[in-house]
Amino acid sequence: EAGVAQSPRYKIIEKRQSVAFWCNPISGHATLYWYQQILGQGPKLLIQFQNNGVVDDSQLPKDRFSAERLKGVDSTLKIQPAKLEDSAVYLCASSLRTSGGNTIYFGEGSWLTVV
Amino acid sequence: AQTVTQSQPEMSVQEAETVTLSCTYDTSESDYYLFWYKQPPSRQMILVIRQEAYKQQNATENRFSVNFQKAAKSFSLKISDSQLGDAAMYFCAYRSLNTNAGKSTFGDGTTLTVKP
């Protein structure tokens, strides 16, 4: 079974530039998550989708971050304009359903450095 | 809001020995799940073990076991017969069964070093 795919794996941009990350979840998984992991910290949920609807985006900085999941499959996360503090690993994850007992499977992450 | 605290930023263990990683959490809920994830340098989070709060029996997965103390809100991970491949960051996570089910709150991790 293919895992959660993410691209690009690494990106270096200058502040105020824009960047987009792509995620393809495990086939059949209805729930998709984007996490931000700053070095030395645990992952923080940015946004959670159930199919193509948003379940939770309470911690998404909406003035610069946006995410979409068209057709309820793959998803993109965009940052525009980027700030230095956005340097982090962006982890995409998916689960079969939203309920708490479902295992969340993570991708390898997209490393962002803002200079 | 739930919080998860891992008080040990770093731990080390000799190969083949046993190590325990600590985790405490704060919640007012009675039903929830607790997880331990392993994150190697590749950054891919891998589920190690999970515990349902309504189960009194501690979960075990081969060399990994937990000590779940619900009243104390404590959830420690014991790794027996440590192997070099166990070296990684370990994260404790909490997931509610109620609001925002599926949203996990993570601790800040413990870096485990395994010495040969």
pLDDT tier at B2 (50, 70, 90 boundaries)? confident
Q: Are A100 and B95 in contact (CB under 8 A)?
A: yes
In tens, the pLDDT along A76-112 reads 999 999 999 999 999 999 998 776 677 889 999 999 9
CA-to-CA dists, residue A57 to A49, A111, B6, B29, B93, angstroms = 9, 21, 25, 22, 19
Q: Tell me, what DSSP letter sits at residue B81?
A: S
The nearest CA of chain A is from the CA of B33 a distance in Å of: 7
A2 touches chain B (CB under 8 A): no
Q: Using the beta-carbon criterion (under 8 Å), do A41 and B103 form an inter-chain contact?
A: no
In tens, the pLDDT along B9-28 reads 999 999 999 999 999 999 98
A22 touches chain B (CB under 8 A): no
